[in-house]
Amino acid sequence: MSTQRNILAAILIFGIFMLIPQYMEMIGVVPEMEYDDGNGSHAARQTGPQVDTYSATPSVPEKNHLHSAGVSEILTIITPLYKANISSYGGGSVVYYKIHETKNQTQRYVGGYDSLGVYSKANSVVLLHDIGHTSDYCAPCLSVKDEGVFKKHNQAFSRKTSIDIINGVLEVGEGEVKEIHYESDGVQKKLIVDGDSYSINHFFDYDFKSADEVEVAWTSGVFPSEPSINSSLSYSADELSYSSAYAYQNESLESITQNSQVGLPAEVFNEKTDWVAIRTKFFGMVMLTDKKSNYASLSSENFLFRGDDDVLPIYSAGMGGYPSRGQLNVTTYLGPLDVDRIDLLGQDKSVSSIMNFGWSIIQPFSRAVLWTVKTIHNSLGINYGFVLIIIALLMRVITGPLTRKSYESSAKMKIVAPLQKKVQEKYKNDPQRLQQEMGKLWKEHGVNPVSGCLPMLIQWPILMSFFIVFRSTIEFRGASFFGWISDLSQPDYLIALPFDIPLYGGAVAILPILMGISMFLTMKITMQATDDTQKTFMYFMNVFFILIFNSFPSGLTLYYTIFNFLSYQQQLSIKNSK
């Protein structure tokens, strides 16, 4: 029965990786994208590296006048959390957005791409890159349907002056809230910027007269932030597997994901919509309105990320069906997928559904795991690597009795196995009698054939929640442990290879090898009476996990490595006590 338990474990985990479509995105296997001239891909979205510059002229507040429309004007907003450039196109559409380091997260928001698509650990995270201030993109803007055709209302607006704006820069400090006012034909717009939030409020007062309807759209996507683990790609295929666009309707989450080089045409979801969102692995954009829309529109199109080398999908999301005249209050969040901040969006915490906490049965466990990680870290002020070790110890203590129960049940089944074989031979031609006699045999010896597997099945939601949370939590981003483990959100690569190995990658990580050793030691104890065929299968699974985990975050692998070594020690202790 020990063998059956091991095989069940392998099948369960193998199914998680390979046989469950909903979780295919977790393994980061995304087809490599090639540029296709015929698919309408964008030209490179860059005008050179973005550099923070400030005028050397004296700081003088703006004089009282209306900045003219028709010409793009860029206004820089600086808060403790981010720096954003907004364009007069669309009345304050965001064209550049950089996350700032904070006093509590000095490394979490370091490491990113410049506008040329070059990654550096010294770069800050930039979620939107400057595209030349054209009206091709909006973040956000109104789109007007007239005679059956949608057109973006994304021309240059006039901006009203403000004494808070000095040399084209609006600084919003901690605890401050400031406003920016724009206007154009038929539209008055007010932006409200909060120095303590990644959210910007866009208030539209519009009248498009004879138009059919109005949509509010975000067409600039969200740029990647994670380095590639594949030498043939400049961006992270693992991050790309998390990238999607979402719409929340009737307490249900709809989504689209581009998994090939072909962009996805607009897909319309005709239900009342609370909000739409776009995410990458660690960051995202959420757009909410004060009035539910009649539908949501999601799409993606290809963008040349690094010259002619790579194509990146850029997602668009819109909410439409609003009347041609009225008022609309739109809130856009552009920042980290931090559950504490995401839960503040909306009124029912529904936005957190984009964070991939798993199926509904697993979500409470995932939230509990994340809460435990953050609580231990914040309470003790210790490195996240030590937090993972503490959690592994706690889980070993909690699951220890279940493991012992499973081991003892398997030991009893080994004793009964010869008697069971005799009964099977005796009644092999009488299935009904065989079932009766087997039941009697198990009852006489106080064994249950499923008792060895049941403890493992009970632990499965917990183990799955650890896999989900440790694979994608932003808390581990930039968090070092010791030695070569410099970022718990990335693989702990130590040796680079001159080529890529399918399923393995282009570098050698150390923790997956240590995890494989821990699995091998545990198998040596639990499979002593197993036949050679079953042993071969289990050893194959061991090698398979080493290959798979080579590209997984080191925080996830560290947890499983520690947990497995503790499991081995427990199995050894149980064996020696017999």
pLDDT tens digits along 188-206: 999 999 999 999 999 999 9
CB 465 within 8 A of CB 16: no
pLDDT for the residue numbered 249: 96
Q: Do 346 and 403 share a domain, yes or no?
A: no
Residue 39 domain flag: no
Domain end call among 356, 380, 405: 356
> What is d(CA 488, CA 477) in angstroms, rounded to the nearest whole number?
6
pLDDT band, residue 395 (cuts 50/70/90) = very high
3-state SS class at 334: strand
Distance CA 51, CA 98 (A): 11
| Average confidence (pLDDT) over 65-76 | 65
Lowest mean pLDDT among 188-192, 360-364, 400-404: 400-404
pLDDT for the residue 307: 57
CATH number for 91: 2.70.98.90
Claim to verify: residue 515 and residue 438 sit in the same structural domain: yes
Q: What is the pLDDT of residue 71?
A: 62
- Amino acid 426 reads K
Residue 132 in any domain: the answer is yes
Three-class SS of residue 85?
strand
Residue 367 lies in a domain: no
Q: Whole-number mean pLDDT of the chain?
A: 82
Confidence of residue 29 (pLDDT cuts 50, 70, 90): very low
- Residues 94, 15, single domain; the answer is no
First to last CA, the chain: 18
Kindly tell me if the per-residue pLDDT of 481 is higher than 60.
yes
Residues 99 and 151 grouped into a single domain: yes
Q: Are 365 and 289 in contact (CB under 8 A)?
A: no
Note the pLDDT tens digit of each residue in 152-189.
Answer: 887 889 988 777 899 999 999 999 999 999 999 889 99
**What average pLDDT does range 22-35 have in this prediction?**
37
Q: What is the pLDDT of residue 309?
A: 57
Q: What is the pLDDT of residue 44?
A: 34
Same domain, 267 and 385: no
Q: Which of 312, 331, 356 is the last residue of a domain?
A: 356
| 37 or 251, greater pLDDT | 251
Residue 578 has pLDDT above 70, yes or no: no
Tell me if 326 is assigned to some domain: yes
Residues 351 and 386 occupy one common structural domain: no
More confident residue, 41 or 109: 109
Lowest mean pLDDT, pick from 3-7, 275-279, 539-543, 547-551 = 3-7
Mean pLDDT computed over 50-72: 42
> Which pLDDT value is given to residue 35?
32
Mean pLDDT computed over 489-493:
93
Note the pLDDT of residue 575. Answer: 76
Q: What is the pLDDT of residue 236?
A: 67
Which of 42-51, 277-286, 524-533 has the least mean pLDDT?
A: 42-51
pLDDT of residue 54 exceeding 70: no
Please say whether the beta carbons of 158 and 65 come within 8 A: no
Q: What is the mean pLDDT of residues 85-92?
A: 92
Q: Does 293 have pLDDT greater than 90?
A: yes
Residue 31 inside a domain? The answer is no
Count CA atoms within 13 Å of residue 396 on its CB side.
19
Average pLDDT estimate for 424-450 = 84
Q: Is residue 32 part of a domain?
A: no
Contacts 24+ apart (CB under 8 A), 561-566: 561/511, 561/514, 561/515, 561/518, 562/388, 562/389, 562/392, 562/393, 563/392, 563/395, 563/396, 564/515, 564/518, 564/519, 564/522, 565/518, 565/521, 566/392, 566/393, 566/396
Question: Among 491, 473, 466, 436, which residue's Cα sits nearest to residue 559?
Answer: 466
Among candidate residues 302, 323, 356, the one where a domain is terminated:
356
Could you tell me if 347 and 397 lie in one domain?
no
Ranking 135-139, 282-286, 336-340 by mean pLDDT, the lowest is 135-139
Query: E strands of 125-186, at which residues?
Result: 126-128, 141-146, 149-153, 158-159, 165-166, 169-171, 177-184
Structure tokens at 349: 């915490």
What value does the mean pLDDT take over residues 57-73?
49
Do 327 and 395 lie in one domain? The reply is: no
| Structural domains of the chain, count | 2
- Judged against a pLDDT cut of 60, whether residue 20 lies above it is answered with no
Which of 36-40, 102-106, 205-209, 249-253 is predicted least confidently? 36-40
**pLDDT-derived band at 6, boundaries 50, 70, 90:** very low
pLDDT at 234: 53
**Of the listed ranges 7-11, 68-72, 539-543, the one predicted with least confidence:** 7-11
1 pLDDT more than 80: no
448 occurs within a structural domain = yes
Are 340 and 383 contained in the same domain? no
Asked whether 63 and 57 are in contact (CB, 8 A), the reply is: no
Which residues are 16's β-sheet partners? none
Q: Let me know whether 214 and 308 are in one domain.
A: yes
In a domain, 62, yes or no: no
Least confident of 26-30, 64-68, 566-570: 26-30
Length of the chain: 578
Most confident of 207-211, 344-348, 492-496: 492-496
Please say if the pLDDT value at position 506 is more than 70. yes
Q: What is the pLDDT of residues 439-457, one digit of tens each?
A: 888 888 878 777 667 667 7
Q: Give the position of tokens 């031609």.
A: 429
Question: H or E segment at 387?
Answer: helix 384-426
Pairing of strands 169-171, 74-78: parallel
Contact predicate 412/446, CB 8 Å: yes
Instruction: Using alpha carbons, select from 393, 320, 362 the residue that is nearest to residue 562.
Output: 393
Query: Which has the minimum average pLDDT: 109-113, 260-264, 420-424, 531-535?
Result: 531-535
pLDDT of residue 437: 86
Share of the chain above pLDDT 70, in %: 83
* 245/122 same-domain check: yes
Domain region containing 238 = 46-54+71-356
Residues 344 and 432 in one domain: no
Query: Closest Cα to residue 86, out of 147, 14, 148, 170?
Result: 170
* AA identity, residue 285: M
